[in-house]
Structure 1
Amino acid sequence: MKPQRVRVQYEAAAANPNTIVGCRVCRVPEGSTERYTRWINSLDPEQLLTQVFTSHGPTVVMPTWFCSRDWFEEVGVFDEGGKGVPEDLLFFYQSLRRGGHVIRLDDCLLVYRYHEHAATHSVLEETIWSLRVDFLQERVLSRWESFSIWSAGKQGRRLYRSLSPGNQRKVKAFCDVDEKKIQKGFYTYEGSKDRPKPRIPVLHFTRASPPFIVCVKLDLTGGVLEANLRSLQLKEGVDYLHFS
């Protein structure tokens, strides 16, 4: 920890009850998990809430957390299930369910060391996926009458298959930029028990209707995804949410 960490985060927590207070981090070795670290350190205040569904996990990384003892106990402490339990994600989601807030201080108050034997690597991706899908359905899809899935590729189809039957029926279309997928015209859910099997249109992203659940990873397309979203003049958290 940097020498001023406790004082600075204590002051922020005292001024923001019922809040998980995080901070920016410095990585050791420098350059470790570059894309993830950039995400941790660059989210704006609104994105700390809008991007809670992504595969990156909590929008303020757990080693930086600071909150009151009262709020910690109100949320329900950590799940002590042991190796393979994503206790940070479970606590973070529960804090949000109870109306908690999230802020990140813009100072680097913590040196965050990467090593290949960290406990985070013991958590199965499937476990994280299930928790994220359930939270998305609970917090967002339960309020939406219909939506489109941005990506007719592997991640978009996987999300569709993971949804409850009721939420599957809310999917109006998949959208993409891949001409082969668009020309095919439909995605048929072969695993469905319904007859006839669901056939979801696949459209170019400019022809699809918001709101969107975006299943294309951030910061991996050379800015193309981000530019496409901007071109539609959409508002994050209202017209679209990132899931991948």
Structure 2
Amino acid sequence: MESIHDNAIIIPVYNASSWLPDCLRSIACQIKNKLKVELSVYDDGSTDESLDVIEKWKPVLEAEGFKVLISGHSGPPKGVGFAKNQSIQQSSGKYLCFQDSDDEMKPGRLTLQYNASLEHPDAIIGSKFERDPPDSTLRYTYWANSLTQEQLNQQVLTSHGPTVIMPTWFCSRDLFNRVGEFDEKGKGTPEDLIFFYRHLDLKGKIFRVDEVLLVYRYHPLQTTFSIDEKVIWDLRLKRLVKYFLGKWDNFTIWNAGKQGRRLYRSLPEEYRSQVTSFCDVDEKKIKQGNYIYENSNLRPKPRVPIVHFTTAKPPFVICVKLDLTKGEFEKNLHSLNLLENVDYVMFS
């Protein structure tokens, strides 16, 4: 009989031989207590020594009590979404712990996230993380690790992506089955963000164990760098329209610069007409008086006022990046006493 304690660690692999020893060593060192754990690895057509490394570590992991499942295919890679789906399909654990082949688990990860999943069965469980090397992506790391539990479910439209990073995800198989498999379009597809949004659409929640449970490695070959930025922008924009702009009569874009104007130009025409103003603190931009949308087919061309943030009217779509102004933007926003996702939404 299958135990309710069964966990499956899901690892998609592609040309990861340089990092797999550290990754698998960290798994072998997991504190499992009474948990039964299987390691499910799917190799997505690696051309390096990845499979040899995994086979070498199999008896080591089995000696530590892990059930080890290894499969894969030769030929061109089919993408990380496909590899994750295959790894999940061949596994049997009632709980899924996602792990990237170039990262390392902290010893208590499985137990802490399993316990959190029991308490929050409708949530994707994440954790805090540390970067390797430590000085890489400082702003992103600070943002992800400092979000409040409430903000984990609010700041889902920023360019940072999911509010808990994919390599820290943990959830029940029931939750995964309810949301559906990862997108398999392949290279350039943000399969984690697509899954994340589908989960939220089904009223799913996000929860984070507030301990560092992962070493998140930063290197030029990581999958993140192959993601198509325009695909991510379009996903975010579609969600912004559906959950906010479609419910607001009008709104202000906070940022009269490059990102604010890009948002304005990207909006469908009916939503561009709802933009009452841009707001900013830059006196040069404010002195321009208006932003004129030169590429519009309308005559006369739309002219959108540029005003100081203190005279602008909410709700706001905020296109200002956090932690770039030594706290001035955050101070200005806080001074207005607004409610996040009611009076403003972060789209930075």
Quickly name the TM-score band, shorter chain normalised.
over 0.9
Task: Report the Cα distance in structure 2 between the residues aligned to 1:231 and 1:110, rounded to whole angstroms.
Answer: 36
Unaligned segments of structure 2, at least 5 residues: 1-104
> What's the counterpart of residue 146 of structure 1?
250
SS in 1 for 2:153: helix
Tell me if 1:20 matches 2:124.
yes
How far the C-alpha of 1:235 sits from its partner, in A, is 2.1
How far the C-alpha of 1:214 sits from its partner, in A, is 0.8
Tell me if 1:131 matches 2:242.
no
Percent identity, aligned pairs only, is 58
> What's the counterpart of residue 314 of structure 2?
210
SS in 1 for 2:244: helix
Task: Report the Cα distance in structure 1 between the residues aligned to 2:157 and 2:184, rounded to whole angstroms.
Answer: 23
Match of 2:330 among 217, 226, 239: 226
> What's the counterpart of residue 88 of structure 1?
192
> What's the counterpart of residue 159 of structure 2?
55
Tell me if 1:189 matches 2:296.
no
SS in 1 for 2:199: helix
How far the C-alpha of 1:198 sits from its partner, in A, is 1.1
Match of 2:209 among 105, 109, 121: 105
SS in 1 for 2:312: coil
Deviations 1:46-72 (A, max 9, x none): 111221111100000000001111111
TM-score between both structures, scaled by the size of structure 1: 0.97
How far the C-alpha of 1:237 sits from its partner, in A, is 2.0
Deviations 1:128-150 (A, max 9, x none): 11111111111111111111000
Task: Report the Cα distance in structure 2 between the residues aligned to 1:12 and 1:156, rounded to whole angstroms.
Answer: 38
Q: Which structure has the greater CA radius of gyration?
A: 2
Tell me if 1:114 matches 2:114.
no
Task: Report the Cα distance in structure 2 between the residues aligned to 1:3 and 1:230, rounded to whole angstroms.
Answer: 39
Match of 2:177 among 61, 64, 73: 73
> What's the counterpart of residue 165 of structure 1?
269
SS in 2 for 1:10: helix
How far the C-alpha of 1:27 sits from its partner, in A, is 1.4
Unaligned segments of structure 1, at least 5 residues: none
How far the C-alpha of 1:18 sits from its partner, in A, is 1.9
How far the C-alpha of 1:86 sits from its partner, in A, is 0.5
Q: How many residues align?
A: 244
Task: Report the Cα distance in structure 2 between the residues aligned to 1:140 and 1:169, rounded to whole angstroms.
Answer: 15
Deviations 1:82-110 (A, max 9, x none): 11111111110111011110011101111
Task: Report the Cα distance in structure 2 between the residues aligned to 1:148 and 1:127, rounded to whole angstroms.
Answer: 24
How far the C-alpha of 1:13 sits from its partner, in A, is 1.0
TM-score between both structures, scaled by the size of structure 2: 0.69
Match of 1:199 among 295, 303, 306: 303
Task: Report the Cα distance in structure 1 between the residues aligned to 2:336 and 2:174, rounded to whole angstroms.
Answer: 43
SS in 1 for 2:247: coil
Task: Report the Cα distance in structure 2 between the residues aligned to 1:151 and 1:15, rounded to whole angstroms.
Answer: 40
How far the C-alpha of 1:184 sits from its partner, in A, is 1.4
Task: Report the Cα distance in structure 2 between the residues aligned to 1:57 and 1:104, rounded to whole angstroms.
Answer: 15
Task: Report the Cα distance in structure 1 between the residues aligned to 2:137 and 2:284, rounded to whole angstroms.
Answer: 33
> What's the counterpart of residue 9 of structure 1?
113
Task: Report the Cα distance in structure 2 between the residues aligned to 1:105 and 1:199, rounded to whole angstroms.
Answer: 47
Deviations 1:212-236 (A, max 9, x none): 1111100111111101111222222
> What's the counterpart of residue 284 of structure 2?
180
